[in-house]
Amino acid sequence: MTPNSRSEITSATRIVVKVGSSSISGENAEQIGPLVDALAAAHARGAEIVLVSSGAIATAIPFLNLDGRPTDLATQQAAAAVGQNVLMWRYQTSLDRYGVLAGQVLLTAGDLENATPRSNAQRAMDRLLALRILPIVNENDTVATHEIRFGDNDRLAALVSELIGADLLVLLSDVDALYTKPPHLDGARRIEHVPYGDPLAGVEIGAAGRAGVGTGGAETKVSAARIAAEAGAAVLITATQLVTEALSGDDIGTWFDAAPERHTSGSDIPLA
């Protein structure tokens, strides 16, 4: 059931949660534990949970003795291969406390753009959820190219929400909500509610997040929220540290209403 407000979040059946690189890598790697606590609590009440997690490349940086996020494609691909392994180990180790099994799903833009791989991905995700597995989704950076990719995992999360018919998408980052202007500026006010189709006129949407680690920001989250809302999912944007409150229906973050009618095909949603 698509929730009409935060107070109905606990009744959502199928939920996609997206977390960014800066929230679960480097000095913030310890946030994986509390994140898993919140996901496991929702899983325990019967919800089907999908986690879209960035962080493979960022997680690999210290293991490869890099000074920062690599800029050349080959090193990005190598870092993704190393970091994805470590990241999945960290998630599964934390999920073991609850007896929940994770399943890794790596997607490329082509997988969701073309009918056959898209259908295969949808079928696999539905089966994982039916088996009470918690899918952990990321872009397949080891084989992705600069020319053909999602661009950021906010967009990937929105397209996954559309793919599986999610009721709710929760976009987590370093900032607790969207604001009328960048939150560090005087006069910035939290945007509590965005009705479906609201153009957010007069709102200054800018980038956010820890520089040099992630690729998304407020602008990508608004774009992703619109895609998911159009597909029939309500959307909540808030901070990773508030994920427990978010999945409990507390009055936090920025809420986007879903479209009155659910969009199901996804074939006309651009990937870039």
- What pLDDT is recorded for position 146? 60
- What pLDDT is recorded for position 132? 98
Please give the mean pLDDT across all residues of the chain.
Answer: 90
Is residue 149 one of the residues assigned to a domain? yes
Q: What is the dihedral of CA 3, 112, 105, 146, to 10 degrees?
A: -120
- What pLDDT is recorded for position 145? 65
**pLDDT tens digit sequence for 89-107:** 999 999 999 999 999 999 9
**pLDDT tens digit sequence for 23-50:** 999 999 999 999 999 999 999 999 999 9
- What pLDDT is recorded for position 270? 42
Q: What's the structural domain count of the chain?
A: 1
> What's the average model confidence in pLDDT over 238-252?
98
Whole-angstrom distance, CA of residue 222 vs CA of residue 241 = 20
Whole-angstrom distance, CA of residue 140 vs CA of residue 116 = 18
- The CATH number of whichever domain residue 112 belongs to comes to 3.40.1160.10
Nearest one of 234, 48, 17, 42 to 134, comparing CA atoms: 48
- Judge whether residue 262 has pLDDT over 80: no
- Sequence-distant (≥ 6) Cβ neighbours of residue 167 within 8 angstroms: 1, 2, 3, 12, 13, 14, 15, 233, 234
Q: Which residues are annotated as a binding site?
A: 18, 54, 141, 153, 173-174
Under DSSP, the state recorded for 168 is: E
Q: Which residues are annotated as a binding site for substrate?
A: 54, 141, 153
Q: For 208, phi and psi rounded to 5 degrees?
A: -150, 165
- What pLDDT is recorded for position 183? 87
- Judge whether residue 272 has pLDDT over 80: no
- Judge whether residue 18 has pLDDT over 50: yes
Q: Which residues are annotated as a binding site for ATP?
A: 18, 173-174
Is residue 238 one of the residues assigned to a domain? yes
- What pLDDT is recorded for position 195? 97
**pLDDT tens digit sequence for 121-140:** 999 999 999 999 999 999 99
| For the chain, percent of residues with pLDDT exceeding 70 | 90
Higher pLDDT pick, 209 / 231? 231
State which residues form the domain around 111. 6-256
Is residue 262 one of the residues assigned to a domain? no
Q: For 221, phi and psi rounded to 5 degrees?
A: -70, -40
- This prediction's pTM: 0.91
Model confidence band, residue 205 (pLDDT cutoffs 50, 70, 90): confident
Is residue 1 one of the residues assigned to a domain? no
The strands making up 254-256's β-sheet, listed across from edge to edge, are 102-107, 134-139, 48-53, 14-19, 168-173, 234-239, 254-256, 193-194
Is residue 268 one of the residues assigned to a domain? no
Higher pLDDT pick, 192 / 264? 192
> What's the average model confidence in pLDDT over 64-90?
94
- Judge whether residue 269 has pLDDT over 60: no
Higher pLDDT pick, 6 / 272? 6
Is residue 264 one of the residues assigned to a domain? no
CB distance 225 to 256 below 8 Å = yes
Distances in Å between the Cα of 119 and the Cα atoms of 63, 115, 124, 267 are 36, 6, 9, 11
3-state SS track over 96-154: HHHCCCEEEEEECHHHHHCHHHHHHHHHHHHHHHHCCCEEEEEECCCCCCCCCCCCCHH
- Judge whether residue 241 has pLDDT over 50: yes
Is residue 270 one of the residues assigned to a domain? no
Is residue 267 one of the residues assigned to a domain? no
- Judge whether residue 268 has pLDDT over 80: no
